[in-house]
A and B are shown apart, each in its own frame.
Chain A
Amino acid sequence: MNLAFTLNGQPCATEAPDHWTVLDLLRDGLGLMGTKYGCGEGVCGTCTVLADGRPIRACLVLAAHARGRALVTVEGLERDGRLDPIQTAFAERGAAQCGYCTPGIMLAAKALLLENPAPTEHEVREALSGNLCRCTGYTKIIEAVLAVAGTR
Protein backbone atom coordinates (compact mmCIF):
# COMPACT_ATOMS: atom_id res chain seq x y z
CA MET A 1 0.00 0.00 0.00
CA ASN A 2 1.05 3.61 -0.56
CA LEU A 3 1.69 5.81 2.43
CA ALA A 4 2.25 9.56 2.64
CA PHE A 5 2.93 11.29 5.92
CA THR A 6 5.32 13.74 7.55
CA LEU A 7 8.43 12.30 9.15
CA ASN A 8 10.57 14.49 11.38
CA GLY A 9 9.33 17.60 9.62
CA GLN A 10 9.83 16.31 6.07
CA PRO A 11 7.19 14.94 3.70
CA CYS A 12 7.60 11.20 3.20
CA ALA A 13 5.96 8.99 0.55
CA THR A 14 6.67 5.28 0.63
CA GLU A 15 5.17 1.82 0.32
CA ALA A 16 4.67 -0.87 2.91
CA PRO A 17 2.96 -4.27 3.19
CA ASP A 18 -0.53 -4.14 4.74
CA HIS A 19 0.55 -5.96 7.90
CA TRP A 20 3.43 -3.66 8.79
CA THR A 21 3.31 -1.57 11.92
CA VAL A 22 4.78 1.92 12.25
CA LEU A 23 7.80 0.28 13.90
CA ASP A 24 8.38 -2.02 10.90
CA LEU A 25 8.03 1.00 8.63
CA LEU A 26 10.52 3.14 10.54
CA ARG A 27 13.20 0.53 11.12
CA ASP A 28 12.95 -1.77 8.11
CA GLY A 29 11.29 0.45 5.55
CA LEU A 30 13.09 3.70 6.26
CA GLY A 31 16.23 2.60 8.10
CA LEU A 32 15.62 4.72 11.20
CA MET A 33 17.04 2.51 13.94
CA GLY A 34 16.57 4.94 16.86
CA THR A 35 13.12 3.53 17.60
CA LYS A 36 13.55 0.23 19.44
CA TYR A 37 11.63 -3.03 19.47
CA GLY A 38 11.02 -4.06 23.05
CA CYS A 39 8.06 -6.22 24.04
CA GLY A 40 6.02 -5.89 20.84
CA GLU A 41 2.82 -5.74 22.92
CA GLY A 42 2.64 -2.07 23.82
CA VAL A 43 3.76 -2.58 27.41
CA CYS A 44 7.39 -1.46 27.66
CA GLY A 45 7.23 1.85 25.78
CA THR A 46 10.65 1.74 24.13
CA CYS A 47 9.07 2.05 20.64
CA THR A 48 7.23 5.27 21.60
CA VAL A 49 7.18 7.92 18.87
CA LEU A 50 5.02 11.01 18.37
CA ALA A 51 2.03 11.18 16.03
CA ASP A 52 0.62 14.70 15.72
CA GLY A 53 2.38 15.58 18.97
CA ARG A 54 0.99 12.69 21.00
CA PRO A 55 2.82 9.54 22.05
CA ILE A 56 1.98 6.29 20.27
CA ARG A 57 3.28 2.74 20.45
CA ALA A 58 4.99 2.15 17.09
CA CYS A 59 4.76 -1.63 17.65
CA LEU A 60 0.95 -1.57 17.89
CA VAL A 61 -0.09 1.11 15.41
CA LEU A 62 -0.56 -0.14 11.87
CA ALA A 63 1.56 1.67 9.29
CA ALA A 64 -1.67 2.47 7.41
CA HIS A 65 -2.83 4.47 10.41
CA ALA A 66 0.16 6.82 10.06
CA ARG A 67 -1.17 8.07 6.74
CA GLY A 68 -1.46 11.86 6.76
CA ARG A 69 -0.05 12.23 10.25
CA ALA A 70 3.12 13.95 11.47
CA LEU A 71 5.52 11.45 13.01
CA VAL A 72 8.51 12.39 15.13
CA THR A 73 11.16 9.85 16.08
CA VAL A 74 14.23 10.28 18.26
CA GLU A 75 16.17 11.17 15.11
CA GLY A 76 13.88 14.19 14.71
CA LEU A 77 14.47 15.65 18.17
CA GLU A 78 17.76 17.21 17.06
CA ARG A 79 17.31 20.34 14.97
CA ASP A 80 20.07 21.85 12.79
CA GLY A 81 22.76 19.97 14.67
CA ARG A 82 21.47 21.10 18.05
CA LEU A 83 20.16 18.61 20.55
CA ASP A 84 16.67 19.03 21.97
CA PRO A 85 16.79 20.36 25.55
CA ILE A 86 15.46 16.98 26.68
CA GLN A 87 18.47 15.22 25.12
CA THR A 88 20.87 17.71 26.72
CA ALA A 89 19.26 17.26 30.13
CA PHE A 90 19.43 13.45 29.86
CA ALA A 91 23.14 13.66 28.94
CA GLU A 92 24.03 16.16 31.63
CA ARG A 93 22.25 14.27 34.39
CA GLY A 94 23.22 10.76 33.36
CA ALA A 95 19.58 9.81 32.88
CA ALA A 96 20.50 6.82 30.70
CA GLN A 97 22.43 3.65 31.36
CA CYS A 98 22.07 0.96 28.71
CA GLY A 99 20.00 3.43 26.67
CA TYR A 100 17.52 1.00 25.16
CA CYS A 101 14.50 2.69 26.74
CA THR A 102 15.87 6.22 26.26
CA PRO A 103 14.41 7.13 22.82
CA GLY A 104 10.93 6.16 23.94
CA ILE A 105 11.25 7.96 27.25
CA MET A 106 12.51 11.15 25.63
CA LEU A 107 9.58 11.15 23.20
CA ALA A 108 7.06 10.48 25.97
CA ALA A 109 8.62 13.44 27.81
CA LYS A 110 8.50 15.55 24.64
CA ALA A 111 4.78 14.83 24.26
CA LEU A 112 4.19 15.88 27.86
CA LEU A 113 6.12 19.15 27.51
CA LEU A 114 4.39 20.03 24.22
CA GLU A 115 1.03 19.85 25.98
CA ASN A 116 2.08 20.96 29.45
CA PRO A 117 5.30 23.01 29.51
CA ALA A 118 5.44 23.23 33.32
CA PRO A 119 4.42 19.83 34.70
CA THR A 120 4.59 18.82 38.33
CA GLU A 121 6.65 15.79 39.34
CA HIS A 122 3.43 13.81 39.60
CA GLU A 123 2.50 14.76 36.04
CA VAL A 124 5.95 13.75 34.79
CA ARG A 125 5.66 10.39 36.51
CA GLU A 126 2.21 9.86 35.04
CA ALA A 127 3.37 10.83 31.54
CA LEU A 128 6.27 8.37 31.76
CA SER A 129 4.20 5.64 33.43
CA GLY A 130 4.14 3.59 30.23
CA ASN A 131 7.91 3.55 29.75
CA LEU A 132 9.92 0.91 31.54
CA CYS A 133 13.60 1.31 32.43
CA ARG A 134 15.32 -1.66 34.04
CA CYS A 135 18.61 0.15 34.77
CA THR A 136 18.16 3.57 36.32
CA GLY A 137 15.37 3.49 38.86
CA TYR A 138 13.83 6.55 37.14
CA THR A 139 15.09 9.21 39.58
CA LYS A 140 17.51 10.87 37.16
CA ILE A 141 15.03 10.55 34.31
CA ILE A 142 12.35 12.41 36.27
CA GLU A 143 14.91 15.01 37.37
CA ALA A 144 16.03 15.57 33.77
CA VAL A 145 12.48 16.18 32.55
CA LEU A 146 11.74 18.52 35.45
CA ALA A 147 14.98 20.38 34.72
CA VAL A 148 13.88 21.01 31.12
CA ALA A 149 10.51 22.23 32.33
CA GLY A 150 12.22 24.52 34.81
CA THR A 151 10.00 23.14 37.52
CA ARG A 152 12.92 21.95 39.59
Chain B
Amino acid sequence: MRLHPFRLVEPESLLDALEALGRLDGEARLVAGGTALVAMIRLGLVKPDRLISLHRVPALTQIRVESGSLELGAMATHADIERSRVVRDGWPLLAEAVRRVATPAIRTSGTIGGNLAYAEAASDPAPALLCLHAEVRVDGPAGAERCRSRGSSEASTRRRWSPARSSRRSAFRPRRPAREAATSSTRHARRRTNR
Protein backbone atom coordinates (compact mmCIF):
# COMPACT_ATOMS: atom_id res chain seq x y z
CA MET B 1 0.00 0.00 0.00
CA ARG B 2 1.51 3.32 -1.12
CA LEU B 3 1.68 6.49 0.89
CA HIS B 4 -0.39 9.47 -0.18
CA PRO B 5 2.00 11.18 -2.67
CA PHE B 6 4.11 14.11 -1.49
CA ARG B 7 7.08 16.10 -2.71
CA LEU B 8 10.21 15.81 -0.62
CA VAL B 9 12.47 18.77 0.14
CA GLU B 10 15.94 17.82 1.36
CA PRO B 11 17.81 20.85 2.71
CA GLU B 12 21.48 20.36 3.55
CA SER B 13 21.79 22.92 6.35
CA LEU B 14 19.65 24.15 9.23
CA LEU B 15 19.47 27.55 7.55
CA ASP B 16 18.11 26.03 4.33
CA ALA B 17 15.65 23.92 6.34
CA LEU B 18 14.33 27.01 8.14
CA GLU B 19 14.11 28.89 4.86
CA ALA B 20 12.07 26.04 3.34
CA LEU B 21 9.85 25.92 6.41
CA GLY B 22 9.18 29.67 6.15
CA ARG B 23 8.54 29.49 2.40
CA LEU B 24 6.16 26.53 2.69
CA ASP B 25 4.50 27.83 5.83
CA GLY B 26 1.49 25.73 6.71
CA GLU B 27 1.88 23.37 3.73
CA ALA B 28 4.90 21.32 4.70
CA ARG B 29 5.66 18.93 7.52
CA LEU B 30 9.12 18.32 8.87
CA VAL B 31 10.17 14.68 8.86
CA ALA B 32 12.98 13.30 11.02
CA GLY B 33 13.10 9.49 11.31
CA GLY B 34 9.54 9.13 10.03
CA THR B 35 8.52 6.51 12.58
CA ALA B 36 5.49 8.58 13.64
CA LEU B 37 4.78 10.78 10.63
CA VAL B 38 5.02 8.05 7.96
CA ALA B 39 2.66 5.86 9.99
CA MET B 40 0.26 8.82 10.30
CA ILE B 41 0.38 9.37 6.54
CA ARG B 42 -0.19 5.65 5.96
CA LEU B 43 -3.26 5.75 8.21
CA GLY B 44 -4.59 8.82 6.39
CA LEU B 45 -4.44 10.98 9.53
CA VAL B 46 -2.41 13.60 7.70
CA LYS B 47 -1.99 14.18 3.97
CA PRO B 48 0.85 16.64 3.53
CA ASP B 49 1.71 17.74 -0.01
CA ARG B 50 5.31 18.37 0.98
CA LEU B 51 7.74 17.01 3.50
CA ILE B 52 10.94 18.72 4.54
CA SER B 53 13.39 16.01 5.53
CA LEU B 54 16.12 16.87 8.02
CA HIS B 55 18.24 13.79 7.35
CA ARG B 56 20.80 15.73 5.31
CA VAL B 57 21.51 18.29 8.04
CA PRO B 58 24.58 16.75 9.68
CA ALA B 59 24.82 19.28 12.51
CA LEU B 60 21.50 18.05 13.92
CA THR B 61 22.75 14.52 14.68
CA GLN B 62 25.36 15.67 17.20
CA ILE B 63 25.68 14.18 20.67
CA ARG B 64 28.29 16.18 22.58
CA VAL B 65 29.19 17.72 25.89
CA GLU B 66 29.57 21.49 26.02
CA SER B 67 30.56 23.19 29.30
CA GLY B 68 29.34 20.25 31.33
CA SER B 69 25.98 20.07 29.55
CA LEU B 70 24.93 17.34 27.19
CA GLU B 71 23.83 18.67 23.81
CA LEU B 72 21.65 16.47 21.66
CA GLY B 73 20.81 17.44 18.11
CA ALA B 74 17.16 16.98 17.23
CA MET B 75 18.13 14.26 14.73
CA ALA B 76 20.11 12.17 17.24
CA THR B 77 18.45 8.75 17.13
CA HIS B 78 17.36 6.77 20.17
CA ALA B 79 19.77 4.02 19.04
CA ASP B 80 22.71 6.44 18.97
CA ILE B 81 21.81 8.00 22.32
CA GLU B 82 21.38 4.64 24.07
CA ARG B 83 24.79 3.50 22.77
CA SER B 84 26.62 6.76 23.44
CA ARG B 85 29.38 6.28 26.03
CA VAL B 86 29.09 9.94 27.01
CA VAL B 87 25.35 9.62 27.69
CA ARG B 88 25.63 6.29 29.48
CA ASP B 89 28.37 7.57 31.78
CA GLY B 90 27.04 11.06 32.47
CA TRP B 91 23.26 10.82 32.00
CA PRO B 92 22.34 7.17 32.69
CA LEU B 93 18.68 8.09 33.26
CA LEU B 94 18.42 9.33 29.68
CA ALA B 95 20.21 6.25 28.30
CA GLU B 96 17.76 4.06 30.23
CA ALA B 97 14.75 6.04 29.01
CA VAL B 98 15.61 5.93 25.30
CA ARG B 99 16.23 2.18 25.55
CA ARG B 100 12.54 1.87 26.46
CA VAL B 101 11.25 3.55 23.32
CA ALA B 102 9.28 1.12 21.14
CA THR B 103 11.43 -1.66 19.66
CA PRO B 104 15.02 -1.85 18.33
CA ALA B 105 14.17 -1.12 14.68
CA ILE B 106 12.10 1.92 15.64
CA ARG B 107 14.96 3.20 17.80
CA THR B 108 17.34 2.98 14.81
CA SER B 109 15.30 5.60 12.93
CA GLY B 110 13.36 7.46 15.62
CA THR B 111 14.91 10.68 16.88
CA ILE B 112 14.82 12.57 20.15
CA GLY B 113 13.57 15.68 18.32
CA GLY B 114 10.82 13.79 16.55
CA ASN B 115 9.81 12.11 19.80
CA LEU B 116 9.31 15.45 21.56
CA ALA B 117 7.71 17.12 18.56
CA TYR B 118 5.18 14.31 18.21
CA ALA B 119 4.48 14.72 21.94
CA GLU B 120 3.20 11.19 22.47
CA ALA B 121 1.64 11.08 25.92
CA ALA B 122 3.48 7.80 26.65
CA SER B 123 6.87 9.15 25.52
CA ASP B 124 9.73 7.56 27.48
CA PRO B 125 12.41 10.21 26.91
CA ALA B 126 10.18 13.18 27.84
CA PRO B 127 9.91 12.50 31.60
CA ALA B 128 13.63 11.73 31.75
CA LEU B 129 14.37 15.09 30.16
CA LEU B 130 12.01 16.73 32.65
CA CYS B 131 13.88 15.13 35.54
CA LEU B 132 17.17 16.32 34.08
CA HIS B 133 15.80 19.90 33.72
CA ALA B 134 16.52 19.83 30.01
CA GLU B 135 16.44 23.04 28.07
CA VAL B 136 14.96 22.91 24.58
CA ARG B 137 16.24 25.19 21.88
CA VAL B 138 13.56 25.78 19.28
CA ASP B 139 14.61 27.11 15.89
CA GLY B 140 12.06 28.54 13.51
CA PRO B 141 11.93 30.85 10.52
CA ALA B 142 11.36 33.74 12.94
CA GLY B 143 14.43 32.94 15.04
CA ALA B 144 15.47 30.75 17.95
CA GLU B 145 14.26 30.53 21.52
CA ARG B 146 15.10 28.43 24.52
CA CYS B 147 12.59 26.94 26.88
CA ARG B 148 13.01 25.00 30.08
CA SER B 149 11.16 21.69 30.03
CA ARG B 150 8.23 21.40 32.42
CA GLY B 151 5.43 18.92 32.81
CA SER B 152 2.08 19.58 31.19
CA SER B 153 -0.02 16.90 29.57
CA GLU B 154 -2.30 19.67 28.33
CA ALA B 155 0.55 21.20 26.37
CA SER B 156 1.39 17.78 24.93
CA THR B 157 -2.12 17.24 23.68
CA ARG B 158 -2.32 20.68 22.18
CA ARG B 159 0.95 20.30 20.33
CA ARG B 160 0.37 16.79 19.13
CA TRP B 161 -1.32 17.66 15.85
CA SER B 162 0.73 20.70 15.15
CA PRO B 163 4.14 19.40 14.03
CA ALA B 164 4.67 22.41 11.76
CA ARG B 165 5.00 24.50 14.89
CA SER B 166 6.37 22.14 17.48
CA SER B 167 8.93 20.19 15.45
CA ARG B 168 11.15 23.17 15.00
CA ARG B 169 12.96 22.17 18.14
CA SER B 170 16.50 21.49 17.19
CA ALA B 171 18.61 20.88 20.26
CA PHE B 172 18.35 19.87 23.90
CA ARG B 173 20.64 20.56 26.78
CA PRO B 174 20.04 18.31 29.74
CA ARG B 175 21.94 19.95 32.59
CA ARG B 176 24.36 17.66 34.32
CA PRO B 177 22.62 16.40 37.45
CA ALA B 178 24.26 15.06 40.56
CA ARG B 179 25.12 11.45 39.78
CA GLU B 180 23.14 10.25 42.81
CA ALA B 181 20.03 12.05 41.64
CA ALA B 182 20.23 10.46 38.21
CA THR B 183 20.73 6.99 39.64
CA SER B 184 17.84 7.30 42.04
CA SER B 185 15.56 8.55 39.23
CA THR B 186 16.58 5.58 37.09
CA ARG B 187 15.69 3.15 39.84
CA HIS B 188 12.40 4.93 40.36
CA ALA B 189 11.58 4.63 36.67
CA ARG B 190 12.34 0.91 36.71
CA ARG B 191 10.12 0.28 39.71
CA ARG B 192 7.20 2.05 38.13
CA THR B 193 7.53 0.17 34.86
CA ASN B 194 7.58 -3.20 36.59
CA ARG B 195 4.31 -2.57 38.32
Contacts and interface: CB of A to CB of B under 8 A. Distances in A.
Most chain B CB neighbours (cut-off 10 Å) among A18, A40, A59, A60? A60
Nearest to B1: A40
Interface stretch (B2-10, B61-69, B170-178): B2-10
B53 A40 contact: no
B107 to A, nearest CB: 9
Contacts of B8: 1, 18-19, 62, 64
A65 B10 CA distance: 10
Nearest to A63: B8
Most chain A CB neighbours (cut-off 10 Å) among B2, B8, B105? B105
A92 interface: no
Nearest to B31: A62
B96 to A, nearest CB: 14
Interface stretch (B37-45, B139-147, B160-168): B37-45
Contact of B7 (A18, A24, A131): A18
B51 to A, nearest CB: 8
Nearest to A127: B104
Given A19-B6, A60-B39, A62-B53, A51 B103 contact: no
Interface in B9-30: 10
A134 B31 CA distance: 32
A131 B21 CA distance: 36
B55 A130 contact: no
A129 B79 CA distance: 15
B53 A65 contact: yes
Given A18-B6, A127-B104, 9 more contacts: A21-B3, A40-B1, A41-B43, A48-B105, A54-B104, A62-B31, A62-B34, A64-B10, A126-B104
User: What are the nearest 3 A-B pairs in CB distance?
Assistant: A130-B103, A18-B8, A55-B105
8 contacts: A17-B5, A21-B3, A42-B39, A48-B105, A62-B34, A65-B34, A111-B104, A130-B104
